[in-house]
Chain A
Amino acid sequence: MNANESPLRAEPVLRTRGLAMDYGQGAGRVHALDGIELEVTPGEALAVMGPSGCGKSTLLHVLGGLERPSAGEVWVAGRRIDGLSEKALARLRRRAVGFVFQAFHLMDELTAVENVELPALLAGRSSGAARRRAAELLERVGLAERASHLPSALSGGQRQRVAIARALSNEPLVVLADEPTGNLDSVATLDVLRLLDSLRSAGQTLLIVTHDERVAATADRLITMRDGALVDETRLTRGTSGSLGDLVGLER
């Protein structure tokens, strides 16, 4: 199931209704998510912004099946996931969802290509097929010549690109990225942005949680969260019609 096969009726890749997530008891009860209604169409890049503690990471975890919501419904590709068993959720993560984390979360003792082939191996594919796919993906993110490097020999931006390659391993319906540029300097940020942009152009559905406006600016749609609720939605227009001079503020 690839986001590239454009369905006739755009069935949302992700959908939530009344999603809520609570932590703690009594006086210490925290509403991490408070009645979220959300839809993500295939091929769309959605950015989620908000101050820290607003629940955007929690939203991501719930959408990816890493946490179970306290209330509400979540659909992934038309299939309801909020009540699934851990085993089924694992299968979901294998097939439909790819994760990118702020801290990269690469295995320190595996080379780049070994890290990227991991989801395919966990999904039961043969070691040869997994390795080939991993090599392809590393090529795609521009790190083919670093395939046998350990993460400690890679820069922050390179590590995150390896992590993105890993997320693409099982051709997921959607890539969920949690502050992908949070640990990166501005140069590395640009590299990752470029990659995310190229993914978007290729039709990959993306959901990016970020507090960096530059990252959000590469999306098609931006939603803002505050205190667990969606408070704003902006459609970011595509394309730039003006010249460089217009952008920079030099006029004719």
Chain B
Amino acid sequence: MEIIKTDVAIIGAGGAGLRAAIALAQADPKIRIALISKVYPMRSHTCAAEGGAAGVVKPDDSYEQHFHDTVGGGDWLCDQDAVEYFIHEAPKELIQLEHWGCPWNREPDGSVAVRPFGGMKIQRTWFAADKSGFHILHTLFQTTLQYPNIQRFDEYYATDLMVDDGRCQGLTAIEMKTGQMRRFQAGAVVIAGGGAGRMFPFNTNGAIKTGDGMALAYRAGAALKDMEFVQYHPTGLPNTGTLLTEACRSEGGVLLNKDNYRFLQDYGMGPETPLGKPELKTMELGPRDRVSQSIWHEIQKGRAVKTPWGDCVWLDMRHLGEKTINERLPFVRDICISYLGIDPVTEMVPIRPVAHYMMGGIHTDINAATSVPGLFAAGECACVSINGANRLGSNSLVEILVFGHRAGIEALEYARGQKPGNDAALATQGDVAQAKLRELFMRNVGKESISGLRKEMTDTMGEGVGIYRTQEGLTETCDKLADLRRRYADVALHDKTNVYNTDLLSALELGSMLDCAEAVAVSGLERKESRGAHQRLDFPARDDSKYLKHSMAYYKPTERPRIDYRDVVITTSPPGVRDYSGAKK
């Protein structure tokens, strides 16, 4: 097996991975950085983020307000020291991106423009039309091209972490082009592998978002934290699940039920605001969890718009006019026309909530360090606990920058203090990983199909771990997932080719998703309260006495994960009431 020795290995080349790579390259031009990704960096799912990135920069804004919006938005499950650090670093990172060429929208005087966003009391979302993630990703990727010490391994799929002598010392990965396995030996590893939304039947995520990074860390002993908190974005296209950015509403779009009534006012987010004049932190600019939950209730009450793709509500943007839509939401218009045949300039768009983002992920401390020494994590795959029980839109694009940067710096610091690893021990681990893969590759007797198991998994996740959950539904899903994990051992490959074997890749991705899914469902079953995005019909209230805690899921190869709890860090904001009724202020 070919060995690649490097100082820091990064798994994942989306926003967080690229930001980590640049931080490392700038910190020391002599160190070797291996940037390993299962896709070319520009294909990473950061590109699909539309709305923008939050950072305090305008004179009417303050760190304190960003802090309170974030902590309240997260239903007090945020670690407040991490949020504190995050909001202070946010503007610096956004300015840094500006210096690297990111085409942020501008005010007439040439300063950066900001737009309102859900759950934020002040306008503080930097944006590049409705392609913010795309521009952030490409700006970062292009910036990396000037650093010769960032060595890219595009289309390499990481299969296992190597942990020896109590610390993470690298990984094994398959080169897709040849099917060969490579061993990366590193002083430290950063995981920036993105989310796991593909475990849900109806989601906004790209095909690549299969929780591989989470699963790698989880199997190596790191805890997955707060996995039950899955964000349902209120506005997905009903047939494809394609995201229509929250900016549709922050620019003035409104949500209507079948009677053309703005129903959010009935769910603690009223009174109604004037059409086309959105007010911050109320009505359509409420937080995503509350808005999605209101849509769910509206559907239960029979006030849904019936469509061939299920029950929906309307997103009405007609009053914004063609000029504004073209200027601020051009991509949204394209997508609606392409996939639904509806032009939002002249027609209302049916939408329904869609699984979008994992608040949970690999537990890290404020330094992006996981509980496995030498292993760091950042971005959606990680849970540094700035999002708590519900992420506010436009915080995640900043999170990848702030904590990607931090992970890079901390990984370098760690790697510098380490002696070279034990080659023989690592070689053995590499051989074990390869043998495991070969067994899967050569298996001829398997009777389970990848697409079949995947469908059963997404179905049970949709049924048991939706917007509202119950003991019964969660139990059923947990049992089903345990069964699927058993049956996974019997999955067979049809493709026995070395070159670009997507059948093999799909099998490995399915394995990642099944592990992550079980952590989600079991953590949800154990959390007997309702908080943020985790809503239990059988436990409708928040219970701070028992559950003002992070769920920590630990991997077990053949059983359910063990769930433990960890205290939330509260510094200045004691748990309070989330208030999105604008007029009461």
The judgment on whether A and B are partners is no
Residues of A within 8 A of B (CB): none
